[in-house]
Amino acid sequence: MTANHSPQRPPRPALRWILMLAGVLVVFGGVFAIKAFFAKQTNNFFDNMPQPAATVSAAPARQQRWAEGGEAVGTLVAVNGTDVTTEAGGVVRSIEFEAGQPVAAGAALVRLNSANEDATLKALETSATLAETQAHRWQQLGQDKLVSLDEVQQRTAAAASARAQVEAQRALIAQKTIRAPFAGVLGLRKVNLGQYVAPGMAIVSLQQLDPIYLDFTLPEQLIGKLAEGMPVQARIDALPGRTFEGRISAVEPQVDASTRNFKAQATLRNPDGALRPGVFAKVGFDLGNARDVVVIPQTAVSFNPYGNAVFVISKVKRKPGETDMQGKPLTGDKLVATQRFIKTGATRGDLIAVTEGLKPGEQVATSGLLKLRNGAEVTINNSVQPAADAQPQVENR
């Protein structure tokens, strides 16, 4: 009896690998598909999520009438100011001034020891007197033809030389007394009694305070508009609330090639000595030709290399279905900040003129600009407003 055996199928490893890879692809594909689905839903949620309104302060663009003019910064300079020095060396014998006091021109400040020079002067005066007497005697002898004319001239020249030596000695003694070269106010003394001072050594500072110069620089565009005699106003941070009047006294005819600016100088009256050399000052001047300009606070402008911009706030109707953060429906109008590029002009205090891009009455954001983006919803809170004054005053505390 013969047994029937079914033939065995040969193993197929390639099919197994294909089935295994297909299973792996299905599993990982499902994982990535689920991950992509959730990522898309998350992005859609955040993209459509209502943004909270940014709180800003705002101010309307105003129309004002500004006279054409400008502002600059400068430094006060004494009309005459120097460190008083000595021409001759010597030991300080007396100090005849008090630090900080006003002095008249020619007033004695310091006297140096001149005992040796005084003794030499007496000897020279004696020699000069003798030489003059001899010269007078020889002139009489010359008239009587008892001596030659050449001898008379030699005696006369010797007498003149002796007198010149006396005058030179007197000038040297005068140098031992240091005097004020002009009227002004003295500073702190730099020498003491008994101290030896060398020629050229500073004794004390001397400054003439009334009048006083104010030096400042301006851009080259104004070189043809600024003229001598034009009035200026100066303000000093150290003296808030005070304005000092003056006039342009000189204009530098040359423009600095490196900065494209030129220098100007004004003269201010300073009878009470309130203005001091070296103090920083703000200069204002008017060139006439008043015109209407649109002005806004400088804090409203974003100054950028590619152009200056502001955020204009306007009312916009809400889209149907808009909700707040809690999902509650919103109705009515909303305030939206729209970025707009503008062209700016002159500044005056905290204000800046807008020459193009803004109309009077339009409202601009003045603070909180870093929180804004184009089309962002805003709320206005003007409880704290940035300064917007054409002539701001610094408050001392």
Q: What is the pLDDT of residues 138-178, one digit of tens each?
A: 777 777 677 777 777 887 888 888 889 888 888 888 888 89
Task: Return the pLDDT at 379.
Answer: 87
Task: Return the pLDDT at 334.
Answer: 83
Residue 231: give the domain boundaries: 70-79+207-290
Average confidence (pLDDT) over 110-129: 85
At 286, the pLDDT band (50, 70, 90 cuts) reads confident
Rg (CA), the chain: 45
Query: Tens digit of pLDDT for each residue in 67-82?
Result: 777 788 999 999 999 9
Average confidence (pLDDT) over 48-69: 80
Residue 389 has pLDDT above 50, yes or no: yes
Do 376 and 297 reside in the same domain of the chain?
A: yes
Domain count, the chain: 3
* DSSP helix, strand, coil percent of the chain (3-state; round to 5): 25, 40, 35
Task: Return the pLDDT at 109.
Answer: 92
Average confidence (pLDDT) over 222-249: 88
- The terminus-to-terminus CA distance of the chain in angstroms comes to 126
Do 85 and 183 reside in the same domain of the chain?
A: yes
Do 85 and 201 reside in the same domain of the chain?
A: yes
Distance CA 266, CA 74 (A): 10
Task: Return the pLDDT at 358.
Answer: 93
Last residue of a domain, one of 188, 206, 224: 206
- Strand segments, DSSP code E, in 147-227 are 177-179, 184-189, 196-197, 202-207, 212-219
Do 354 and 334 reside in the same domain of the chain?
A: yes
Percent of the chain clearing pLDDT 90 (strictly above)? 34
Place of tokens 């005097």: 179
Do 169 and 247 reside in the same domain of the chain?
A: no
Closest CA to 362 of 292, 303, 294: 294
Do 211 and 94 reside in the same domain of the chain?
A: no
Do 230 and 269 reside in the same domain of the chain?
A: yes
At 33, the pLDDT band (50, 70, 90 cuts) reads confident
54-60 and 231-235 strand pairing: unpaired
Do 91 and 235 reside in the same domain of the chain?
A: no
Do 182 and 214 reside in the same domain of the chain?
A: no
Residue 391 within any structural domain of the chain: no
Q: Could you tell me the CATH number of the domain that includes residue 265?
A: 2.40.30.170
Task: Return the pLDDT at 124.
Answer: 84
Residue 30 within any structural domain of the chain: no
Task: Return the pLDDT at 1.
Answer: 46
Residue 385 within any structural domain of the chain: no
Least confident of 32-41, 42-51, 188-197, 337-346: 42-51
Residue 359 has pLDDT above 50, yes or no: yes
Task: Supply the mean pLDDT for the chain.
Answer: 84
Query: Tens digit of pLDDT for each residue in 180-189?
Result: 999 999 999 9
Side by side, the strands of the sheet bearing 102-103 are 81-85, 202-207, 184-189, 102-103
The set of long-range contacts for 154-163, using a CB threshold of 8 Å and a minimum separation of 24, is 155/131, 158/131, 158/134, 159/128, 159/131, 159/132, 159/134, 159/135, 161/131, 162/124, 162/127, 162/128, 162/130, 162/131, 162/132, 163/128, 163/131, 163/132
Q: Could you tell me the CATH number of the domain that includes residue 349?
A: 2.40.420.20
More confident residue, 182 or 52: 182
C-beta separation of 189 from 99 below 8 A: yes
